[in-house]
Structure 1
């Protein structure tokens, strides 16, 4: 089982996503991570600084002005308990801030990966659209323009007019001999009718 888990680890997996000997993933660790992150966020606000300042000032005023039997920290020893409390708070604050920063690094890594995938998709879409635009330009270049169609129609009309004129001229030449033969037949018929019957 351990060998199978080791073989599943890929070298290109980000370091924060790899499984370690001590499991740091799971619902419990995520809950703890959210908790530390919220504390680190709270420490990064001005209200935390104001509250910490008021706490330290109140501590020093109480241990300075309160009756001796009510004091729990000695001014003569330089407020050792206050120093201990503030050191303890600082020693816990630094790892919490680092944990929150690690979680933010993991989120940034995931965001960078998503941005990279989105950029690759955008690049592929852009290349596809560029190819489509080139194909459309080539198709439009092969299409006939309005001027070309008009010129072709004009030449076709001129050709049809010339053919009609030739047909009319041939029809006129054919009609001329038939008219001459009709005229000679008419003159022959009139000559027959004019001859006297008694001859």
Structure 2
């Protein structure tokens, strides 16, 4: 039985691939960086670093300074930071634009469905109103029954003006 750390000879060697690049992973990383660069925490950290840098160089003026007064090395650090931050921020912006575009398309589809549903319900409501308008209402039926009762009552009364009562009275 082969040891755990040794390669088996009866199996082919795994081919070594070049550096694998996952664009989605890099894009997520760039969004995290862009989000961090836009925070007050980043500005506070950067301010502390810059003030410390300048203070150390001014205090060590008599000794051997690593970055004399025009602070060329500090300027180079800022330039490098800007050179990397700008493309990362743009990449994060492009991803956000893509997400916004997808959300807008989804909202548009949802609005179209809602509009179609609303139009359908409006047509159904109009049809119900027409159907109800053709139906006899309770008040209409009462009025017709009252008219019929009056006609029937007038037909049953004797013409002499006397009203006959049942039971002879």
Matches within 5 A, 1:49-198: 49-66=43-60, 68-69=63-64, 71-75=65-69, 78-161=70-153, 164=156
CA distance in 1 between partners of 2:136 and 2:72 (Å): 95
Q: Which has the larger radius of gyration?
A: 1
3-state SS, counterpart of residue 22 of structure 2: helix
- Residue 165 of structure 2 is matched in structure 1 by none
Shift of 1:52: 1.3
Which consecutive unaligned segments of at least 5 residues does structure 1 have? Answer: 1-26, 167-199
CA distance in 1 between partners of 2:138 and 2:154 (Å): 24
Shift of 1:148: 1.7
TM (norm. structure 2) is 0.72
Which consecutive unaligned segments of at least 5 residues does structure 2 have? Answer: 1-20, 159-169
Shift of 1:50: 2.0
Report which of the two has the higher share of helix.
1
Shift of 1:122: 1.2
Would you identify which runs of 4 or more consecutive aligned residues in structure 1 move more than 6 Å?
none
RMSD: 2.0
Number of corresponding residues:
137
CA distance in 2 between partners of 1:147 and 1:52 (Å): 82
Higher relative contact order (CA 8 A, sep 6+): 2
